Structures are given as structure tokens and as C-alpha cells.
């Protein structure tokens, strides 16, 4: 049992004396929530607020888990940048969390994950020897390695080609099954395929978007997911600044 909690973030975030957004977001426990919206609206800021990181602004409101236990120590996070340590090998980057905590890494698990993301043959290389997509896959493996009940993903598949992206979506859905996941994405197809809940962020709210009745992760040719994707794309094009 993961005992993944639900998360609620409700309040206003101010940047340079001006409101950036006001929102009330609830992440259902054990499900994927996909957050979409225009660039600069504050999607990544939402992730940083949940993590308790500096945002460059001020937040007034509530950030709480449904079980009443503090959130920050139970979260793994994948940022837009891969944040790989350039002097470490791919394997050492994947297990860095355990080593920083003074724990013995599960090297067998690390090897399995590197194999699943297609990097087993590159495990001794440093990040500078990898392509952008390979670096992103290494960062994904590091995030999955952490095995936390709450997972925050900021455009984790954006550097991948279409086929690899589909494979990594399926891997993440498998490994993170039962965890509370917040995925920031600009891709309606990704949200339609992965989301139990889809939220569209504006300065005033995070509005739910209807999701397909089928269960994620949805097949690439799932008719309801394709319809959701098309409708979502049309809506996003209509409201873009």
C-alpha cells in the first residue's frame, strides 16, 4: 500500500505586487491530475508551492494533505530541466537521492529502471555524453527511483520523440500506479491519455475538463481519448493569449 494522500492547494499567489493566480486545486489520492494552461500562468509555481520551494513571490492560502501529515517530505519531483549532476554517471544520478539521505541505494531497482528507460547501455556515461531525450529519460528514472507517494512532474516527456514518449508515459503510469501524481503538460494528447482528472489553469481558477470514461493509461487509438484531445486542443487554441 502506498497510502498516497490527496493534496489541496487553495489561495492566491502574488508576484511583484500583482496577483499571478488564485486557485483551488484538489489532487485526488492515488490518481493522476493533468494541469494545462498558457505559458506563464503559474503551473510550475503550483509544483514549487507544494514542494515548499522558493517561487519568487508570496502565497497566501492553504497547502495540505488529506491525512494531515506534512506534504514536502513525501514528494518526488521532476523539473523541466533534467538537473542531472554533470560529474556523476547516469547510474549515480539515478540513485543520488538515497545517497544524499545516507541510505544504501537499491542498485537492482536502479538497473531495472535504466533498462526500462532504454539507458542500460549508457549507465556509466556522464550527462554530457547523452542527448537531450536521453537526459530526460535519466531524470525520469531518478524520479521513479524515489518511490514516493506524491509525485510532481513538470513536462517530463517534452524532449522525447513520439514513440519514446508513448513508451515513457506507459512506464510512468505503471510504476506510479496508486500514487498521487500532478503532471504539468502543454500536450492535450498526453493529458487525455494519462489523466484521471484534467484541470485548465487560468488566473482566476483551475477548471475541470471532462475526461474519457476509459481508464488511464488509455490506448493511443482510444476513441474517447482522441475526442477529448481534439476538443481540448480546440479550446486551448481559442483561449490562448
State mean pLDDT over 95-104.
Answer: 95
Q: Is residue 218 situated within a structural domain?
A: yes
Q: How confident is the model at residue 240 (pLDDT cuts 50, 70, 90)?
A: low
Rounded CA-CA distance 108/116 in Å is 12
State mean pLDDT over 24-37.
Answer: 97
pLDDT at 2 over 60: no
Q: Is residue 193 situated within a structural domain?
A: no
Give the number of residues written for the chain: 241
State mean pLDDT over 189-217.
Answer: 96
Q: Is residue 231 situated within a structural domain?
A: yes
**Cα dihedral 229, 116, 145, 176 sign:** positive
Q: What does the pLDDT read at residue 179? A: 97
Helix, strand, coil proportions of the chain in percent (round to 5)? 40, 25, 40
The pTM of the full predicted model, rounded to 2 decimals, is 0.95
Q: Is residue 217 situated within a structural domain?
A: yes
Rounded CA-CA distance 132/82 in Å is 9
Q: Is residue 225 situated within a structural domain?
A: yes
State mean pLDDT over 9-35.
Answer: 95
pLDDT digits (tens, 9 = 90+) for 119-128: 999 999 999 9
pLDDT digits (tens, 9 = 90+) for 179-198: 999 999 999 999 999 999 99
Domain ranges, residue 215: 208-241
Between the CA of residue 10 and those of 7, 35, 78, 123, what are the distances in Å?
Answer: 10, 15, 22, 41
More confident site: 241 or 202: 202
pLDDT at 30 over 90: yes
Rounded CA-CA distance 228/39 in Å is 21
Q: How many domains does the chain have?
A: 1
Q: Is residue 39 situated within a structural domain?
A: no
pLDDT at 214 over 50: yes
Rounded to 5 degrees, φ, ψ at 184 are -90, 125
User: Across the chain, what does the average pLDDT equal?
Assistant: 94
Q: What does the pLDDT read at residue 238? A: 83
143 contacts 179 by C-beta, under 8 angstroms: no
pLDDT at 14 over 50: yes
Q: Evaluate the omega torsion of the peptide bond into residue 217 and state whether it is cis, within 30 degrees of 0.
A: yes
218 contacts 212 by C-beta, under 8 angstroms: yes
State mean pLDDT over 137-155.
Answer: 96
Looking at the chain, the whole-number percentage of residues with pLDDT higher than 90 is 92
Collapsing DSSP to helix, strand or coil, 8 comes out as strand
Rounded CA-CA distance 198/191 in Å is 7
Q: Is residue 8 situated within a structural domain?
A: no
Query: Which is nearest to 236 in space by CA: 35, 9, 32?
Result: 35
Rounded to 5 degrees, φ, ψ at 60 are -125, 120
pLDDT at 226 over 70: yes
pLDDT at 1 over 50: no
Collapsing DSSP to helix, strand or coil, 68 comes out as coil
Q: Is residue 103 situated within a structural domain?
A: no
Amino acid at each position: 500500500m502506498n497510502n498516497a494522500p490527496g493534496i489541496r492547494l487553495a489561495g492566491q499567489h502574488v508576484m511583484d505586487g500583482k496577483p499571478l493566480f488564485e486557485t483551488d486545486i484538489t489532487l485526488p489520492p492515488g490518481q493522476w491530475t493533468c494541469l494545462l494552461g498558457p505559458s506563464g500562468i503559474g503551473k510550475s509555481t503550483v509544483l514549487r508551492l507544494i514542494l515548499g520551494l522558493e517561487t519568487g513571490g508570496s502565497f497566501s492560502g492553504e497547502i495540505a494533505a488529506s491525512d494531515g501529515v506534512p506534504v514536502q517530505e513525501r514528494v518526488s519531483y521532476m523539473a523541466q530541466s533534467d538537473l542531472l549532476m554533470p560529474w556523476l554517471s547516469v547510474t549515480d544520478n539515478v540513485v543520488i537521492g538515497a545517497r544524499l539521505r545516507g541510505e544504501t541505494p537499491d542498485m537492482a531497482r536502479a538497473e531495472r529502471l535504466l533498462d526500462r528507460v532504454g539507458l542500460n547501455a549508457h549507465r556509466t556515461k556522464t550527462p554530457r555524453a547523452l542527448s537531450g531525450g536521453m537526459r530526460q529519460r535519466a531524470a525520469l528514472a531518478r524520479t521513479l527511483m524515489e518511490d514516493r507517494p506524491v509525485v510532481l512532474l513538470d513536462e517530463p516527456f517534452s524532449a522525447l520523440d513520439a514513440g519514446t514518449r508513448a513508451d515513457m508515459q506507459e512506464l510512468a503510469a505503471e510504476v506510479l500506479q496508486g500514487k498521487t501524481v500532478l503532471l504539468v503538460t502543454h500536450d492535450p494528447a498526453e493529458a487525455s491519455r494519462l489523466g484521471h482528472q484534467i484541470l485548465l489553469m487560468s488566473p482566476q481558477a483551475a477548471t475541470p475538463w471532462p475526461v474519457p470514461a476509459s481508464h488511464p493509461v488509455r490506448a493511443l487509438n482510444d476513441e474517447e481519448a482522441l475526442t477529448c484531445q481534439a476538443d481540448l486542443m480546440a479550446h486551448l487554441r481559442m483561449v490562448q493569449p
